[in-house]
Structure 1
Amino acid sequence: MPLWFGILIVIAIACLFVWYIYPDRASSPSFLRKYMAISWVIIRRVVCFSAAILGLFIIYIVLASNEEITLKLIFTLVISLVLLSGFVFIGIVGFAKDESMLDLYKRIKKKYGLRW
């Protein structure tokens, strides 16, 4: 199986998860929808926090190198910090296109009874 096809399958599964657990879709969630919402939050957090840890590792490698401080080094650190903070925020709250991410997160927490 080609790599692009595997990536396409993962993206399609992620989109189906998000569509299925969207809070405006139905009035009361079934057991399956609640289970899928919880699993989606766990998967999202594992992936985003792993990416954040990778960003910390990149920052450590850059700072531990014995290179002199250059514009390239500063640019790498700034980009790593921005991506790291973005991954942590998306890992905790999620991502919404049309509304406030915090509002959507609160609605999903309320509908599916998530404590975290």
Structure 2
Amino acid sequence: MDRIVVNGIEYVRAQPVAKAAKRVPQPKMVERQCKWCRKQFFARAADVKRGWGLYCSKTCKAIRQEVRTGQYRAHLEHRDADGYGGEFSNAHQFSNEEHDCNKD
């Protein structure tokens, strides 16, 4: 420890103790081929064992899921059919100012 006296006041500076960094082993990686774009990539072996690691990116997985289910396309069609095509509204979210749900 360093002791410093300034204007009659003694200050003590503690020396930082150097800690050894704990070494963590890297996960085992296996080479895979993306099921959508066919690009080669590396995935964790533990993920592959779980049935994961099928796609190289979230984008490829999302594209494949949309092709398989069509959920996003159905959402857009439903939204457009209701007349809410992305228009901005100043109405409060719980008001009936622009849309009356009780109409027959």
TM range (shorter): under 0.3
Which structure shows the bigger proportion of residues in helix conformation? 1
Structure showing greater radius of gyration is: 2
Taking structure 2 as the reference length, the TM-score comes to 0.24
Taking structure 1 as the reference length, the TM-score comes to 0.23
Which structure shows the bigger proportion of residues in strand conformation? 2
